[in-house]
Amino acid sequence: MKIKSYAYGKWVEGTGAGKAVYHAVSGETIGTVSSEGLDFKAMLAYGRSTGGKTLRTMTFHERGRMLKRLALYLNDRRKEFYPVSAMTGATKADNWIDIDGGIGTLFVYASKGRRELPDEPFYVDGAPEGLSRNGTFIGRHICVPLEGCAIHINAFNFPVWGMLEKVAPTLLAGMAAIVKPATSTCYLTEKVVQAIVESDILPEGALQLICGSTGDLLDHVDCQDVVTFTGSAGTGKMLKSHPAIVENSVRFNMEADSLNCSILGPDATPDKPEFELFIKEVAREMTAKAGQKCTAIRRTIVPRSMVNEVMEALKQRLASIKLGDPAREEVRMGPLASRGQVKEVRERVNELLEVSERVYGDPDNFEILGGDREKGAFFPATLLYCDDPLRNRAPHDIEAFGPVSTVLPYRDVDEAVELAKMGKGSLVGSLFTGDDAVAKDVVLGTAAWHGRIMIVNEYCAKESTGHGSPLPHMVHGGPGRAGGGEELGGIRSVLHYMQRTALQGSPTTLTHITSEWMKGAAQPEDRIHPFRKYFEELAVGDTLTTHRRTITEADIVNFAGISGDYFYAHTDKIAAEKHHIFKQRVAHGYFVIAAAAGLFVWPGEGPVLANYGMDNLRFIEPVYIGDTIHLKLTCKRKTLKEPREDEPRQGVVEWDVEVFNQENVSVAVYTILTLVACKAQ
């Protein structure tokens, strides 16, 4: 069987003999992989002109809904992927990380796109910047999709999650993607891409797949393209220095394998819950995906006084984890992805043994449940111990990318911090402690060297997502050896595929461009009250200037009685006169807001359905007894809500509110949100 690529809208079988890929459990040949015959330059052109062009016409909300439909579709078909995943050596638990985790990432970005981004094809970044004395010339930053392709070169350990965690923010940003999975497990990626193509949910050209070598693909990248890489630091550096990437200043994001650590706090003695939690986590990270995780715990840093207890507890825990064929119910750890990986891990372990001793695991003598020990890619969980980790660099320099971890002792917290930093940059570190002072010292001492730090105690452990689980909400990446890049992190990763551009001009012009009203822009008024207009009838900038209201002593007294707020600055004349700012009684800020609502609200029935909330409230100047207020209510932004069967079509309207006193001085500013019905139902 030949594993195919998907390019320029069709499935393509590579020419030539290709490279064989093998079943990790039985060692049998699954098929051959070749990308010979693919026109890589044409793939880039197709993605840019076909997929990218369509995606760029869509808004974030439309792209988010597209991702949700795709996530639902793949979720319904995920059981089809599990048997193929087992061929890579994945257990049922491993499938939850790779397949279910990848689909879950699609769901998260679908939600974030619709909730945190505007219903526009662009993103307005930050607040307006005043650039002139009178406010007629201002600045604003806008982010638009890059007009190239995002090329994702992924590692063998996560054939599904590795693809979807990059594709989700790429598509949400409005870029087309070309995915290149690692050859040894690309047959699983192919299976999922087949389902994606069959769904017909993505625009044509939005996703292409290369199974096999990338050929001359990178020769044709330009400044509008993005290249991301997950894998070894050596390969990443080679790709990063590609002449076309350097010459064209192509964005390059690298996430490399790193020597991640987990630290047992000095307070977490064997009688404490944190000790047992630590043991469970280290053992889990050693054996999940057979230790083939870029986030796996390679360095187990423990107090010297507890070394024996830790090693004994880990030996017992590891002995209970059965190695073998993932198809067997009792198996908790499968094989490595390939025989080549077995050879690689064995060599690295031998290098580590030059400065360490073996505590558990023998590659020449171990049992498996099912599978072929000679032809399969099995390697036992292996625990090492290095007695002098400050003087011996090997545990901090050499990574055995499999079920291997080295125990490193420390004398005090400062030494633990130093050991953590000796990894020269990690994707993740974790700390198990019930002492918040220790937690603060370790975090502040090691944060500059880690992309993520997880702190666990007995109170959060039950809901903790684990040391080795990158989450779509949180940044994934790290400095130094870890690659110096960032993935995920919510909307942060979406902006990686967009160009941030500074705009300068008049407030009215920038309002028209961004579809968001800015102070100083035109505020046209109409004889029809804005609250009497349907969603479609409102225009950004529509403004109401209200009538006036004089604030009386009775207003303050009555509001104090209703609210129970008898703060002295409102109700005690003598104390208020001593106030170093007010010098006299002032109206409650919340009364001013309530009175403002009375000025701008239309009392009768109309399209406005409900108050949806209030943002960015600031009280700028005090309002005194006898002051007269009025306000301007301006339509700032409109967002159409997704239709639901059980409610009328409606949208969210954001209104800029500015309250003035009798001297036309601003006393309060805020944004209110209202639900407004659509005229067309």
Indicate the residue type of 664.
N
- Residue 198, CB-side half-sphere exposure with 13 Å CA sphere: 9
294 is catalytic: yes
Sequence-distant (≥ 6) Cβ neighbours of residue 238 within 8 angstroms = none
Burial 507-546 (b: 16+ CB within 10 A, else e): bbebbbebbbbbbbbebeeeeeebbebbbbebebbbbbeb
Strand partners, 404: 382
Q: Are 520 and 136 in contact (CB under 8 A)?
A: yes
Q: Which two tokens stand for residue 364?
A: 């020449």
Contact 439, 267 (CB under 8 A): no
- The number of C-alpha atoms within 13 Å of 200 and in the hemisphere containing its C-beta is 0
Q: Which residues, 6 or more positions from 527, have their beta carbon under 8 angstroms from its beta carbon? A: none
Q: If residue 384 lies in a helix (H) or strand (E), which one and from where to where?
A: strand 382-385
Q: How far apart are CA 559 and CA 562, in angstroms?
A: 5
Alpha-carbon gap, residue 608 to 602, rounded angstroms: 9
- Name the residue among 161, 570, 231 with its Cα closest to residue 401: 231
Q: In degrees to the nearest 10, what's the CA dihedral of 342, 347, 352, 357?
A: 70
> Which residue in 147, 165, 190, 255 is the catalytic one?
255
**CA–CA distance, 6 with 208 (Å, rounded to integer):** 5
CA atoms within 13 A on the CB side of 156: 22
CB 429 within 8 Å of CB 322: no
DSSP H helical ranges for 47-173? 53-57, 60-86, 92-95, 101-116, 161-173
The three-class DSSP label of residue 495 is helix
165 CB-near residues (< 8 Å, 6+ apart) = 102, 105, 470, 472, 476, 487, 488
Residues 417, 418, 423: CA angle, nearest 5 degrees: 100
Task: Compute, in degrees rounded to 10, the torsion defined by CA atoms 144, 240, 48, 509.
Answer: 20
Q: What is the DSSP letter of 159?
A: T
Question: How far apart (Å, rounded) are the C-alpha atoms in residues 128 and 140?
Answer: 5
Active-site choice (149, 186, 211, 294): 294
What gap in Å lies between CA 286 and CA 541, rounded to an integer?
A: 58
Q: Which of 153, 204, 199, 217 is nearest to 46 (CA)?
A: 204
Residues 6+ apart with CB under 8 A from 299: 259, 260, 261, 262, 389, 395, 396, 405, 406, 408, 419, 420, 423
Q: 429-454 b/e with 16+ CB inside 10 Å = b?
A: bbbbbbbeebbebbeebbeebbbbbb
Residue numbers annotated as active site: 255, 294
